[in-house]
């Protein structure tokens, strides 16, 4: 539970510290959902691919821009947040 609350707090701090990136990210997700909805209503089966690629792409872009792969490791995150501990 402690780890979950730590990452929840980190996400909330991210919203406040970088609101432009937060809004762009959610605008992107909204666009993915709209494209998926319109592809599904058009009776094509490509909507599954659109949704999957659309949701996974931000993760791959973040990793290519330097997101550490151990970002969900609780001990590494705490050490990065509090280097003196």
Could you report the per-residue pLDDT of 2-41, keeping only the tens digit for each?
777 777 777 777 777 778 888 888 898 899 999 999 888 8
- pLDDT at position 69: 65
What is the pLDDT, as a whole number, of residue 71? 62
| Tokens encoding 74 | 């609780």
pLDDT at 34: 92
Predicted pLDDT at 6: 74
Average pLDDT across the chain, whole number: 80
Question: pLDDT value at position 31?
Answer: 92
């Amino acid at each position: 539970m402690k780890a979950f609350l730590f990452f929840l707090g980190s996400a909330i701090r991210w919203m406040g510290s970088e609101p432009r990136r937060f809004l762009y990210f959610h605008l992107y997700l909204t666009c993915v959902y709209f494209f998926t909805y319109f592809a599904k209503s058009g009776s094509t089966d490509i909507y599954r691919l659109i949704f999957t690629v659309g949701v996974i792409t931000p993760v791959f872009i973040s990793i290519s821009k330097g997101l550490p792969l151990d970002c969900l490791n609780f001990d590494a995150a705490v050490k990065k947040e509090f280097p003196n501990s």
